[in-house]
Amino acid sequence: MTTQLSTVAAVREFNRYYTGVIGLLNQHILDSDLSLSEVRVLYEIGERTDCTAGQLTTVLGIDGGYLSRVLKAFEKKGWITRKRCADDGRTWHLLLSDKGRELISLLNDRSNTQISNLLQPLPPASQQAVANAMKNIRDILSADNTSAPNTSQITFRHELLPGDVGYLIYLHGHLYARDTGYNLEFEQYVCGTFQDFLRTYNPSKDRVFMAIHEAHIIGAVAILGHSKTTAQLRWFLLDPAFRGLGLGKKLLQDALSFCKEKKYEKVYLLTTSLQTTAIELYKKAGFRKTGEKHLHQWGKELFEERYDMDLSY
């Protein structure tokens, strides 16, 4: 997998910027005589049970000779002690002394003050946005990209909140442009459909089902009640990073359960021939294609397709 040079340049630019913001361009940090590497060693010893020098070289990626000199200096200053492993006499465990724990506590207080001063001028929403962005960077870079996303924090809701519709419009424009190649006209079309929806939105007949992960909408589908007997299914999408986990199926099931609860006898949807993954889910849910027409729109040659489901029996 290749990485674009522009992406590499952007990451390097951010590294330089944030290093300057946090105040690590000088050799020492947090108004102490310790370098960044030395502080990291001290923190790791304090955080780990039965910490060894070998673990530190692996976790921190530092040279063994350099680490040996740092540990000797820490011992000389009375910050750490060594204890021989009971199971292996060749192995020594590293522990913080009382003096070392006091130093770590002081450094933690200074670090908290430093970050608080950095964030204090920002409104609470911006502070949370910074924290979320940093968490995303950490999660992405530390994740096994061959494994499925963690679904333990995925929640579902159908109460529309301020900002939801705007974010759903963004998702449609972004995901369909990336995955299908739709142009800006598609986003204009989606904006119009949501504008029409909000004019007549009534939770007693309409419902938008959303999947949420870490405060972001990752999937959605809506039911619009057009009459006492007929409803339309719209705006079904799911972030590709969360596909294959059964979330799309659940969203559709929740939407159809709502239709049955409201005693809609028919539900239909309009899609295009390019949405092959969604179409398979529609068919498995019980929809049948009832019509199609050839169109040139949103920068593509495609077929608009209609699917219907009879709920009257």
Rounded Cα gap, residues 22 and 27, in angstroms: 13
Statement to judge: residues 91 and 161 lie in one domain:
no
pLDDT for the residue numbered 210: 96
Statement to judge: residues 78 and 170 lie in one domain:
no
SS3 assignment, position 233? strand
Q: For 122-186, give the DSSP string.
A: S-HHHHHHHHHHHHHHHHHHHS-TTSPPP-TTEEEE----TTHHHHHHHHHHHHHHHHT---HHH
State which of 119, 144, 177 marks the end of a domain: 119
CATH number of the structural domain spanning residue 53: 1.10.10.10
Structural domain includes residue 128: no
pLDDT for the residue numbered 230: 96
Structural domain includes residue 137: no
Q: For 12-53, give the DSSP string.
A: HHHHHHHHHHHT-SSS--TTSS--HHHHHHHHHHHH-TTB-H
Statement to judge: residues 88 and 206 lie in one domain:
no
Q: Which residue has the tokens 């964030």?
A: 119
Q: What is the pTM of this model?
A: 0.58
Residue 68 sits in which domain range? 5-119
Rounded Cα gap, residues 180 and 201, in angstroms: 29
pLDDT for the residue numbered 143: 62
Report yes or no: 71 and 38 within 8 Å, Cβ to Cβ: no
Structural domain includes residue 142: no
Statement to judge: residues 108 and 167 lie in one domain:
no
Report yes or no: 194 and 252 within 8 Å, Cβ to Cβ: no
Statement to judge: residues 64 and 158 lie in one domain:
no
pLDDT for the residue numbered 2: 63
Residues in the chain: 313
Rounded Cα gap, residues 183 and 134, in angstroms: 31
Structural domain includes residue 138: no
pLDDT for the residue numbered 1: 53
pLDDT, averaged per 10 consecutive residues of the chain (313 residues), comes to 78 86 59 81 88 87 89 92 80 90 89 86 90 83 62 87 94 91 93 95 95 91 95 94 88 95 95 91 94 91 93 81
Statement to judge: residues 293 and 200 lie in one domain:
yes
SS3 assignment, position 83? strand
Q: For 94-108, give the DSSP string.
A: EEE-HHHHHHHHHHH
Statement to judge: residues 216 and 275 lie in one domain:
yes
Question: How many domains is the chain partitioned into structurally?
Answer: 2
SS3 assignment, position 218? strand
> Of 103, 125, 117, whose CA–CA distance to 22 is shortest?
117
pLDDT for the residue numbered 287: 95
> Of 87, 298, 307, whose CA–CA distance to 172 is shortest?
298
pLDDT for the residue numbered 25: 45
Structural domain includes residue 143: no
Structural domain includes residue 124: no
Q: How far does the chain reach from its first CA to its final CA, in angstroms?
A: 52
Statement to judge: residues 31 and 168 lie in one domain:
no
Statement to judge: residues 160 and 96 lie in one domain:
no
Statement to judge: residues 91 and 182 lie in one domain:
no
Sign of CA dihedral 275, 276, 279, 284: negative
Task: Provide, for the chain, the percentages of residues in helix, strand and coil under a 3-state DSSP scheme, each rounded to the nearest 5.
Answer: 50, 20, 30
